[in-house]
Each structure stands twice: as structure tokens, then as C-alpha cells.
Structure 1
Amino acid sequence: MSRGATLLAVALAAGCASGRLVRDGQVNASALAAVARDLPAVRGLDFLRPVPAVALRPDDVAAWVRRDIDLSYPGDDLDRVSMVYERLGLLPEGVTLRAVLEHLYRGQIAAFYDPRSKQLVLATEALGAGGLGVRVFSLLTGRDLVGELLVAHELTHALQDQRWGLPTEPEPLIDSHGDRVLARRALLEGDATLAGFAYVQRGTPSRDTIDQVEQRLHGIAPTLAAEYPGVPEIVRASLAFQYDVGTAFTGWALAEGGWREVDRVEADPPASTEQVLHPARYFGVRDRPIEITLRGTEEMEAAGWRRILEDTLGELTIRVLARRALTQDRALGVADGWGGDRLRALARGDELLLVWVTAWDGPPDAIEFFEAMPDVMPAARVERRGERVLVLMGPPAVLDGLSARVWTRTTSARGG
């Protein structure tokens, strides 16, 4: 859900971008300049170049976002992701990611930084003054300061882009690393959220204040569930993860070493959602993901099966998947101990085949995942060998030979 989550960050950062920032359909240049002038001293980074701002009518903002969806998911990428997620059980039957994204955007966008054009985009109207973004950012500050917090948040993304670069081109869907991308998104959003809060508070928050911010942000998940009960949990969880867990992760760095430590982490971002969910596995002894090179489908591809997706799901997505059938506590336990995974999807006509190799920190973790899978994915064929578990879904006639080849040819190694 990495590319979708990147887009969804825009929806959460929506709300009323204070009338003093957009006035009479135009950007209030002096008000915006005041935020841009004062933010660097708070965040500890100077702008390398000015950030132009553009004010757009709501219809034009919506068109801009639709274009961003198309650029982030070129061709039939959204359809392919939707097909695979539906088979996994992460999307209800008949629900498409495009419909979900467009539903979330509707009436929620007020401001965002666009890394492609390097511009800050503001809506000319205070869209959804009582909308999702206002309620979320009101968890951190009073409503009268939400607009300033929002703009400082988005300008922090511009600072990040100028220093470390923000992604503008999607990874090929047949060679994606979504878990790693989502982990970095959590860092970016956590950094921007804390910087926005620091701006409206006019100073770097203390450890106690960071703890209070984190506690308030725990309200994001229930807010999303209440506002968007029809949105699949994988979408809501990916979005809440960026702001709630991402802020906790970034807060760890900020409390330990100030903004300079946050800068160090930005230059060496977390490699997995596991590291973000468990900060000690990044800041302490680094628990690097196991890199899996999935092989064994070559004969099938030569026989007409087409590779349509390959990605890493990661601990967060496994949590969401497991929560479909298990209690919250057991789902957390099943996902914990994740070491790495690789999912490959192949299609031939109307047939879909999923090959999912997972690697775990030790045999007990692999056994826990293996024993949960009949409840979580009852239609799947699940096999375990030591610390690895293979999950297959597809036409039964092809699974025996495929299983043997995947076990024999797939390799894995702990990342460096």
C-alpha cells in the first residue's frame, strides 16, 4: 500500500488552511512568507531555494490530485494491485483502490506540497472546515492554529525534498519494495508533524511534550474508522501508521539528539515498517530485513503466465491481514518476528497465482505464522521449512511442481 499511502498523506493533511494564507482566491504572499521565514530556525534547516505557492479552485485541486494518482499508478497498476489485494483478503470483493482513493480525497484537500512541481498547492476555499484534517491536527493544537500547523507541515516536506529528495517516480510494480517505501513515508510524515507542531509552539518540543503529542495522535486510527467505515482497513492502517507511528519513531530521534539526529535518520531512513513499529530495532541493534530473491516461477512464465506484481508486504501489512481473523493481540504476535518477505503475482487469462515467501527471525516465529495461516487465509496452501514459510494461492494443478521449485531456487540473506 506504499504508493497509495503516499497519496493518502495528502488527504490527512487536509482541512482549513486559514483564511489569512489564502485571501480572495489568491495566495497571501506575506502570510506565507512569514511561515517560510520562521520555520527554518525551528526545524534547523534552511531552504536552499524558494518554494513557490499556487492557489487553485477546489475543482482544479481535485484534478491535480487525480493526475497525481495516475502518475503514481501508471497504466493498469491500480487494477493489478486491487486484484492481488482482493485475493489476499485485504480488499473486499469488488472494491477498487481507485474508488477508495477518490472517496478519501473528495472534499478533504486544502494544501499539499507537490515534489514533482516543487510547489505548495493551496485551495482557494477553506474546504471541509470541519473535515478530517482539521479534526486530526486539532489533536495537536487549537483550531485557530491548524492552518499554520498544516502549512508548516507541508513546507517541511519542501525542506526534506531539497535536502534528501522525495520520490516522484513510482517503482515498477513487478519490482516494488512497498514496505521500505512506507517506512520512509512514516519518517517523512513524523518529521513534518513534529516540525509543524514545533512551529506553532515556537520551539523544539521536550521529551514530555513529544510523549503528549504521540498520545494525542493515537486518536487518528479511531477518527479514520469513524469517518470512513467503508474504507478498507489496509488503507486506514497505512495512513494512520505514517502519522501516529511515524511521529513516535521520529520523536525517538528528536528526544535523543534534537533535529540534528532527525537529519541523520533522514539520510539513513528505516528499511522496514518493523523498524518503525519497534524503534529499538533501528536505534539500538539494527534489525535489517532479510532480502529474499524469489525464484521458481520461470517455467510458468515461459508457459504463458505473466508477472503482474512483486512486492514486500512487511510487518504492518501482515498485522492488518492477521487482524481479519484473529484477535488484536494474536495478530500482533503473528506479525512480530517478521524478518522479510516477497510476494509475486502471476496472471494467465482469468487465473491468478500468488507466491509468497516469508522469512522469520527464528523457527518459533515461523511456526506461529504458519499455524495462524489456516484461519487468516483458509484458501491458501501453506508450507514451512525452518525459518521460512511459503504461501501459495492458485490453480491446484500447478502448485506441487511450483512449490518444489520455489523451495529449491529461492535464496535469502540478511540485508547489509
Structure 2
Amino acid sequence: MNGGWPRVLAVCGLLVLAGCVAPAADHPAASNPGDIDQPTTPATTTAAGDTTTDAPEGVVVEGGSVDVDVNRTYERVQRLLGADFPGTRVVVRNLTQYKSADYGNVPFFRVFGIENPALDESEPTGLTTLDASVYVSPAGADSSRVEQVVAHEFVHVAQVREEMVPWFGGLSLERVTLDEQLARRSLVEGGAVYVTDAYSEEFLPEAESQSAYVEAGYENGSSGDRVVWSQYHFGAQYVNATVDDPTDLPAVYEDAPETTENVLHPGKTDDPAALDVDVSAEEYTRVDSLTVRVGELLTRITLRDVTNKSVAANASEGWANDRVVVFRESGAWDIAWVTRWDTPADADEFAAAARELGTEAGAVSEFRVDRLDDETVVVFAGSDDFLGTAAASGNVTVTA
């Protein structure tokens, strides 16, 4: 979870997603040990074997200066949350190396043309690790912007210290689908934006709200940017619709939704519809894809590149389930994206929008859309040879 502004990128399995809460270097879920220095405060070992860091008194700043009264900000965040949690350290550091992502490592992103998010070194940035250490890069921004970044990170400290979020450390794509990862990260980032907005309203009334800032980033960004900003934007909307006050934030993570459909539509609790996909790999080699299910949010982002905002939103609404089947031949990926919809009309809308895939300038793949039945649409994407070979039938068997 990216500190105050969603530009920090944390490695999670094969996918690099924006995130202000990154795996701690000594945490068993860390995929890039050494990305962040080991904590300098004394470490202890819990009964479960995890390494934790003793909390300092208040907030200790290391490595530079921040034009913010960090202890005052910490106390304000505690008061907003109605919680009294141990202190932390704030390390001032250039975080440019965390402002990059290689989406090309994810087959769905590569084949469907979801590009890497843009790098903006001028933005203030923050990152919080799972041992509740905070890293901040002020980047020369004005003090109110930096204070929002710091407040946002202190909400993440609260999430860690108060053990609000049961899935911290378990969002690797080796464990959950891309859809669930985006949903869960949206709740964490959305919670931080929601509380930071409350902080800004009370203590920084002249500053632009963080939710307005991330909304602009989402609306004006590329597809890769939208993957990043969406977690903050729609996550904040979900939290705002779910709780009435920052003191209620822990309730967001109790029985939390596991799909982006339920994040996009607060109050909707439907589980994904049944969808079993059999695969017969004859000429192509099947790859066990870690994306598995991409969900409504990424469907919307994918379609928006070739349609427009309203068409993409309407065409992805009514999502019921999907499966991504990845094949590899001569080093290139090809995909059969099997989608199921709530109604035939929903399937009609998606199929119509999906037929626009590949029509934009610079499209990286060829596409074919097949309607299997009233509620099932399959999008084949990749090379001409793959599209000439791949097929889907029944309920549902993919052959390639």
C-alpha cells in the first residue's frame, strides 16, 4: 500500500501492485528480502516464530527531516481512530525504486495490454512495513501534502498495531486470486484514505482531500495507473459507504468481501457463480496461471482502454465469475478468458464491449469473442495461430 499517495509498489508474488503496507524484510511473506533495511530497533521472536520489532515511545524520525510534527500527527490519528497504539519510527528515504512495476510478468496484463504504471518522482511517497515501520520520501512537496502522506501511513501503522487486518502477510498470488488481492488491498488502502480525509477535514481544511487526488489519478491515468489508483479510489468509496466514523474502521475488515464486485457495489454480498473450466492442451502448453480470476474491477479497467468510462462500467457490471487459462508456445503467452454473467443481457453487454479489444492503435494481441451460452462468453487473446486453434465448448471445456 503506497504511503499517502499510491505510487509505492510492493512485490507480491509475481505481481507488483501498489501498496503502502509492504512485507517487512524479516517477515515470512516477504518476496524481496533486503528491499527495505532491517529495523534498527531491538527485535524479539514471538511464540509463533515471527520476528517483531519493539515499538519506540512516540514517533522517532531517522535518516533526515520531515516538515511535519510527526508526534502531533500520530496523536491526531490515534484520536480519530479512538485507539492508543504503540509508537513507530519514520525513516526518511528516497523511495524511487518502489515507484516501478513490471506488469509484463503477469500473463493477463501482458496479453491484454495493461501497461506499467507511470513513474512520478515529484510526488511525496510513503510506505509502511508489516513491522509497523514507516518510510517517507517528502520529494519537496508542501507541508500539508506531506502531512497527509504521514497521516495515511500512520493509519497503516494502526492497522498493523491493532491487528485490524487478518490477511496481512498472505496476499501473495500464490495464495489468492488477482481479484481477491485487489479487493483486499482496496479495503486496506481505502481505509487509510478514508481516515486521512477525516484528518484533512479537521486539521488541513485548505488542502485537497486525498480521495479527490486519487480519483483524479484514476480517471486521468493509463490502464496500468488505474490498476494502482483503483485500490485507493474504490476502496475509499467502499469504506465511506460501510462505516460512519473512523473509530469504526476495524469493522471494515470483519467478514470482508473477497471480490472486487463486492467492493465496487457496497452491500452486495453475492459469492461468485459456479464456474468449472476443463482444459485440453493439445498443441499448446498450459501454464498454471496465478491470476485465475481477474474480477469485475480489472474487467472494467481492461475494457475502458477500448470503450469509455460508462460503457466499461456497464459492460463489467453483472459479472458473476471468470477464469483465466494461460497457454505458452515459443515463449509467448496466449489466453482463454472464460467469463460468466448474471443475465443474458449482462453477457450481451460484455461481449459487445470485448469485441472492441484489439481495435486500438498499438494493440499487442489479437482477440476473438465466442458466446457459448446465455451467460457465458469466452475471450481468446494472443497470436493469430492461437486464435485459429483455440476453442471452447460445453460448460466449459477449453481446447488449444
Could you tell me the TM-score, scaled by structure 1's length? 0.68
Contact kept in structure 2, 1:309 and 1:346, CA below 8 Å: no
Structure 2: gaps of 5 or more residues: 1-8, 23-58, 360-365
AA aligned opposite 2:271: R
Query: Which structure shows the higher helix fraction?
Result: 1
Query: Which residue in the other structure is 2:378 paired with?
Result: 390
Query: Which residue in the other structure is 2:31 paired with?
Result: none
Shift of 1:351: 3.7
AA aligned opposite 1:391: V
Query: Which structure shows the higher strand fraction?
Result: 2
Which of residues 253, 258, 277 is equivalent to 1:294?
A: 277
Asked if 1:153 corresponds to 2:152, the answer is yes
State the distance in 1 between where 2:394 and 2:224 align. 30
Quick one: structure 1 residues 78 and 358, their matched pair in 2 at CA, closer, same or farther if it must change by over 3 Å? same
- Correspondence 1:176-215 to 2 at 5 A: 176-202=176-202
Shift of 1:386: 1.9
Contact kept in structure 1, 2:179 and 2:294, CA below 8 Å: yes
Query: Which residue in the other structure is 1:89 paired with?
Result: 113
State the distance in 2 between where 1:327 and 1:196 align. 30
Q: Deviations over 1:271-329 (max 9, x none)?
A: 22222222242xxxx233335443214x449x744435433222222222222232332
- Matched position secondary structure for 2:19: helix
Contact kept in structure 2, 1:253 and 1:261, CA below 8 Å: no
Contact kept in structure 1, 2:260 and 2:295, CA below 8 Å: yes
AA aligned opposite 1:187: L
Asked if 1:220 corresponds to 2:232, the answer is no
Which of residues 239, 250, 255 is equivalent to 1:268?
A: 255
Quick one: structure 1 residues 329 and 194, their matched pair in 2 at CA, closer, same or farther if it must change by over 3 Å? closer
Could you tell me the TM-score, scaled by structure 2's length? 0.70
- Matched position secondary structure for 2:291: strand
AA aligned opposite 2:114: L
AA aligned opposite 1:152: A
Quick one: structure 1 residues 380 and 224, their matched pair in 2 at CA, closer, same or farther if it must change by over 3 Å? closer
Equivalenced residues, count = 339
- Correspondence 1:124-135 to 2 at 5 A: 126-129=138-141
Q: Deviations over 1:123-166 (max 9, x none)?
A: 4xx4132xxxxxxxxxxxxx653333322211111211231246
Contact kept in structure 2, 1:22 and 1:122, CA below 8 Å: no
State the distance in 2 between where 1:395 and 1:238 align. 25
- Matched position secondary structure for 1:310: coil
State the distance in 2 between where 1:408 and 1:52 align. 52
- Correspondence 1:201-350 to 2 at 5 A: 201-202=201-202, 217-223=211-217, 233-255=222-244, 258-259=245-246, 261-281=248-268, 286-290=269-273, 292-297=275-280, 299-300=281-282, 304-350=285-331
State the distance in 2 between where 1:261 and 1:406 align. 47
- Matched position secondary structure for 1:390: strand
Asked if 1:367 corresponds to 2:392, the answer is no
Quick one: structure 1 residues 110 and 326, their matched pair in 2 at CA, closer, same or farther if it must change by over 3 Å? closer
- Matched position secondary structure for 1:353: strand
State the distance in 2 between where 1:259 and 1:317 align. 28
Mean Cα displacement is larger for which, 262-271 or 333-342? 262-271
- Correspondence 1:39-58 to 2 at 5 A: 39-47=77-85, 50-58=86-94
Give me the identity figure in percent: 23
- Matched position secondary structure for 2:258: coil
Contact kept in structure 1, 2:148 and 2:200, CA below 8 Å: yes
RMSD over aligned Cα atoms: 3.9
Asked if 1:32 corresponds to 2:70, the answer is yes
Contact kept in structure 2, 1:224 and 1:236, CA below 8 Å: yes
Q: Deviations over 1:382-401 (max 9, x none)?
A: 22212111122346666688
Quick one: structure 1 residues 373 and 145, their matched pair in 2 at CA, closer, same or farther if it must change by over 3 Å? closer
AA aligned opposite 2:379: V
Shift of 1:43: 0.7
Quick one: structure 1 residues 295 and 46, their matched pair in 2 at CA, closer, same or farther if it must change by over 3 Å? farther
- Matched position secondary structure for 2:378: strand
Query: Which residue in the other structure is 1:132 paired with?
Result: none
State the distance in 1 between where 2:77 and 2:213 align. 26
State the distance in 2 between where 1:354 and 1:341 align. 13
State the distance in 2 between where 1:409 and 1:223 align. 40
Contact kept in structure 2, 1:291 and 1:341, CA below 8 Å: no
Shift of 1:192: 1.2
Mean Cα displacement is larger for which, 388-397 or 238-247? 388-397
Q: Deviations over 1:150-185 (max 9, x none)?
A: 222111112112312463455246x65122221222
Higher relative contact order (CA 8 A, sep 6+): 1
AA aligned opposite 2:110: E
Query: Which residue in the other structure is 1:112 paired with?
Result: 127
Contact kept in structure 2, 1:193 and 1:243, CA below 8 Å: yes
Quick one: structure 1 residues 119 and 406, their matched pair in 2 at CA, closer, same or farther if it must change by over 3 Å? farther
Contact kept in structure 2, 1:380 and 1:393, CA below 8 Å: yes
Asked if 1:167 corresponds to 2:163, the answer is no
